[in-house]
Amino acid sequence: MHTRSLFARLFPPPTYITLPSVGVDISDSSVKYVMLEPQRDGYTLKKWGDIPVPENTIMQGKLQDVPALGRILAEIKKECNTPFMRVSLPEEHAYLFQTTVKRHSTRKEINDALEFHLEENVPLSPRDAFFDFDYVPPAPNAAPVADRPVTVTVYGKEMVLTYIEACTLAGTIPLALEIEPSAIARAVIREGSPSTHLILDFGKSRTGIGIVHRGMLMFTSTVDVGGQQLDASLKLSFPQADGAELIKIKNEKGLLLTEGDTVTRDALLKPIIALKTEIQTRISYWNSRPDASTIESVILCGGIANLAGLPDFFSEELGSPTEQASVWKNIFVDADVIPPITKRYSYGYATALGLALASFKEDYE
């Protein structure tokens, strides 16, 4: 899979590039981390964990309390005995666009050209933004062309620097900062896949949408529907249920059609249909592009991927085969390996696993 970590060239000391590092997935509610150790036939999980984030530390991806996140990163540094980390950035604050660059341009020439056109594509001026680009992999056996297509990822400089500040306070070295769906793709899509996939990352308060073509993230968006909205709908029908009971209801009944009992499905349908409508809008936008490729599969990850009946519901409603993510497919060569993280919780580790894999998969051309 050809995919590079965003800002990899901006911050890391070159001699550290190939060192194993901790993949750190930061969200509003928790920080998940994974450290991999390479083996002759794949990898083993050396360290992993999930640390709750204090309330109001991060709000909708914006870091409000830098010292609080710094303390969490320092804890991970101590647990994993390494300062080297690859850290996720929230997709809801990323801007992506595609353009072309001259084939034999230098990196400086490409950066200058992209900077000149930045304001045409995103609501940020070059002085207020960090940006990086990836070459879009050509189709198999495609003839070389004068203009190479690239995907450009842009973030507001102020937001990025708050995450860098937290890393600095923790005494960690961020080898790279990467947009979440790009990291997820590295974990859940086979390297070299020529297909186009829709990744749905269900979080506590939002769902991230990413379209990946030939291993490259081409589109990202965020919908404000997540686990909290599902729980709120369920509480109307099950007012006495606590958090653990709501999880059990979602994972065992969910959207399944149960004879004589439609209460759970009916309670969940309103937020799920709202989410489905938003996803269809993004798919329609993708399909309207002149160079759009057909989405061949939908991959579910994040905690709400456990919702019973969700894959079948989206398969029917979105018109593409839908499956829960197999987050271990690029970790364990032996399919019989039993992971130390259970299947139920594994969907939430897709981003951290993809970031950790980058230590061994990066292409810094």
Q: Sketch the domain layout of the chain as residue ranges.
A: 14-233+264-361
DSSP 219-279: EEEEES-SHHHHHHHHHHH-TT--HHHHHHHHHHTTT--BTTB-HHHHHHHHHHHHHHHHH
From first to last of the 365 residues of the chain, give the pLDDT tens digit. Answer: 333 445 554 544 444 445 678 999 999 999 999 999 988 778 999 999 999 999 999 999 999 999 999 999 999 999 999 999 999 999 999 999 999 999 888 989 999 999 988 989 999 999 999 999 998 887 777 777 778 899 999 999 999 999 999 999 999 999 999 999 999 999 999 888 889 999 999 998 899 999 999 889 999 999 999 999 999 999 999 999 998 999 999 999 999 987 777 899 999 999 999 999 999 999 999 999 988 899 999 999 998 999 999 999 999 999 999 999 999 989 987 777 888 999 999 999 999 999 999 988 755 34
Global pTM reads 0.91
Which sign, positive or negative, has the C-alpha torsion 234, 238, 242, 247? negative
- Per-residue pLDDT, 16: 45
- At residue 74, the pLDDT reads 98
pLDDT of residue 168: 97
Strands 58-59 and 297-302: unpaired
Are the C-beta atoms of residues 124 and 95 closer than 8 Å to each other? Answer: yes
Q: Measuring CA to CA, which residue among 58, 85, 100 is closest to residue 183? A: 85
- CATH tag, 14-233+264-361: 3.30.420.40
Give the per-residue pLDDT at 78.
97
Q: What is the pLDDT of residue 18?
A: 54
User: Taking a C-beta distance cutoff of 8 angstroms, is the pair 12, 174 a contact?
Assistant: yes
DSSP H/E element including 47: strand 42-52
